[in-house]
């Protein structure tokens, strides 16, 4: 039998970083499949829908680059919620809201054309803002979830942490229900074990930073979140959040230490991605 697949469920590749090297490092360590997530590629937020259009295209190009190097790859695109406060400042709240809603519409078009797998990262602002700002975020997120639900597509969630909002998971679950989106298709990214448990408790999915301590805790527990690096491919912050080869390296470590066997890896890397993203990680064609 071929070696089991290894998926990084949340990585960023940036043309102004070194995307070739990142993908190569991932593959050299044994990685097979990447979910490439849109990121703001410029230091200043988009103020115009044509800028979103170009930026989403860049993410699709990064998917092409990864496939050309021999990795399996999909991508998700959506307006980054952390940009909203700056867009509100520059454009006023109404136009900023309208802009992000249009960007969600653009992402839906790309879903329909089959160029992207899902929507993300979308959600809420992760730094302290007024409640009105998070309400605007929720309106954008709800629209993203409604569109994703119609298309049976996954939604990658970027939000504030549990420690700043203990009601977070219940709130996200409510939004899914309002939008008619299966809770399992909503993925709380940047999770630690506590966040994973709290997402799973309400039926949401979670993607966890692939750190040794986190992975050990989850595997001992028999809990299987998606695993991610959230690598940002920014030369001024090398190997942030985690190096691009972390998922294959940590999976190998977990196998060597007996924390992970074939069955558990199959659940982690084949069944969970199939359920949540609707992807086939086994097929190498
Ligand atoms: Zn990210």
pLDDT at 43 over 90: no
The mean per-residue pLDDT over the stretch 147-156 comes to: 98
Tell me the C-alpha distance between 179 and 181, whole Å: 5
The band of 283, judged by pLDDT with boundaries at 50, 70 and 90, is: confident
**How close is the Cα of 97 to the center of ligand 1, in Å?**
21
The mean per-residue pLDDT over the stretch 54-60 comes to: 98
pLDDT above 90 covers a percentage of the chain that reads 97
The mean per-residue pLDDT over the stretch 143-149 comes to: 98
**How close is the Cα of 36 to the center of ligand 1, in Å?**
9
- Average pLDDT of the chain to the nearest whole number: 96
**How close is the Cα of 153 to the center of ligand 1, in Å?**
18
Considering the domain delimited by 7-277, tell me its CATH architecture: Alpha-Beta Barrel (3.20)
pLDDT at 285 over 70: no
The mean per-residue pLDDT over the stretch 77-93 comes to: 97
pTM of the model: 0.96
The band of 3, judged by pLDDT with boundaries at 50, 70 and 90, is: confident
The band of 138, judged by pLDDT with boundaries at 50, 70 and 90, is: very high
Close Cβ partners of 263 (under 8 Å, ≥ 6 residues apart): none
**How close is the Cα of 232 to the center of ligand 1, in Å?**
7
- Biggest CA–CA distance in the chain, Å, is 57
Would residue 273 be called left, alpha or beta, if left means φ above 0 and alpha means ψ between -120 and 50 degrees? alpha
pLDDT in tens, 157-171: 999 999 999 999 999
**How close is the Cα of 162 to the center of ligand 1, in Å?**
17
pLDDT for residue 63: 98
pLDDT at 134 over 80: yes
**How close is the Cα of 1 to the center of ligand 1, in Å?**
33
**How close is the Cα of 151 to the center of ligand 1, in Å?**
23
pLDDT for residue 1: 44
The mean per-residue pLDDT over the stretch 238-261 comes to: 97
């Amino acid at each position: 039998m071929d070696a089991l697949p290894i998926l990084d469920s949340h990585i960023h590749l940036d043309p102004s970083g070194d995307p070739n090297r990142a993908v190569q490092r991932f593959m050299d360590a044994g990685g097979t499949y990447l979910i490439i997530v849109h990121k703001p590629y410029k230091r200043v937020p988009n103020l115009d829908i044509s800028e979103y259009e170009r930026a989403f295209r860049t993410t699709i190009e990064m998917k092409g680059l990864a496939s050309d190097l021999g990795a399996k790859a999909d991508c998700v695109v959506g307006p980054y919620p952390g940009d909203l406060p700056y867009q509100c400042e520059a454009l006023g709240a109404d136009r900023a809201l309208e802009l992000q809603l249009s960007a969600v519409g653009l992402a839906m078009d790309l879903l329909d054309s089959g160029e992207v797998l899902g929507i993300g990262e979308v959600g809420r602002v992760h730094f302290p803002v007024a409640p009105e700002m998070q309400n605007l975020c929720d309106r954008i997120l709800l629209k993203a979830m409604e569109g994703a639900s119609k298309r049976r597509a996954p939604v990658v969630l970027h939000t504030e942490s549990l420690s700043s909002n203990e009601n977070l998971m219940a709130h996200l679950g409510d939004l899914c229900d309002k939008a008619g989106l299966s809770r399992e298709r909503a993925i709380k990214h940047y999770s630690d074990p506590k966040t994973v448990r709290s997402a799973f408790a309400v039926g949401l999915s979670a993607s966890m930073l692939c750190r040794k301590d986190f992975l050990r805790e989850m595997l001992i527990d028999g809990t299987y979140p998606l695993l991610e690096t959230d690598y940002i491919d920014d030369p001024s912050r090398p190997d942030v959040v985690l190096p691009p080869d972390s998922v294959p390296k940590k999976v190998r470590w977990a196998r060597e230490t007996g924390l992970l066997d074939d069955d558990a890896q199959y659940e982690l890397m084949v069944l969970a991605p199939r359920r949540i993203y609707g992807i086939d990680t086994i097929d190498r064609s």
